[in-house]
Amino acid sequence: MAKCDRTGKRKTREQQKPRKFELGYYLVVTDTEATERYYFEGLQESLPDDVQGKLHIEVIPKIKTWDLVRKCQDLLSLDPQYRKGWIVFDRDEVTNFDDIVTQAEGKSINVGWSNPCFEIWLYAYFGKTPEFRESTDCCMRFGREYEAKTGRKYIKSDKKLYDIMYDKGNEENAIKITKYRYEDFKNQKIEKPSEMLSCSTVFQLVQEIREKVNK
39 closest CA partner among 152, 172, 205, 181: 205
Let me know if residue 148 belongs to a domain. Answer: yes
CB 66 within 8 A of CB 100: yes
Let me know if residue 2 belongs to a domain. Answer: no
93 closest CA partner among 138, 155, 58, 141: 138
Judged against a pLDDT cut of 80, whether residue 129 lies above it is answered with: yes
Sequence-separated contacts (24+) of 136-144 with Cβ below 8 Å: 138/198
Tally of structural domains, the chain = 1
Sequence-separated contacts (24+) of 97-104 with Cβ below 8 Å: 97/193, 97/194, 98/192, 98/193, 98/194, 99/66, 100/65, 100/66, 100/68, 100/69, 101/193, 103/66, 103/69, 104/68, 104/69, 104/72
Three-state DSSP state, 8: coil
The rounded mean pLDDT for the chain is 89
Let me know if residue 78 belongs to a domain. Answer: yes
8-17, 74-83, 125-134: range with highest mean pLDDT: 125-134
Q: Structural domain of residue 148, as residue ranges?
A: 22-214
Let me know if residue 133 belongs to a domain. Answer: yes
Mean pLDDT within 28-41:
95
Mean pLDDT within 183-209:
97
Read off the DSSP letter of residue 134. S
Dump pLDDT digits (tens) for 61-74: 989 999 999 999 99
Q: Name the helix (H) or strand (E) containing 142.
A: helix 135-150
Let me know if residue 199 belongs to a domain. Answer: yes
Counting runs of H as helices and runs of E as strands, what totals does the chain give?
9, 5
Cis peptide before 48 (omega within 30 of 0): no
Better-scored residue on pLDDT, 13 or 102: 102
| CATH classification of the domain holding 108 | 3.40.50
- Of 6-10, 159-163, 184-188, where does mean pLDDT reach its minimum? 6-10
Let me know if residue 67 belongs to a domain. Answer: yes
How crowded is residue 80: how many other Cβ atoms within 10 Å of its Cβ?
Answer: 8
Give the confidence band of 9 by pLDDT, cuts at 50, 70, 90.
Answer: very low
Distance of alpha carbon 179 from its chain centroid, rounded? Answer: 12
Let me know if residue 131 belongs to a domain. Answer: yes
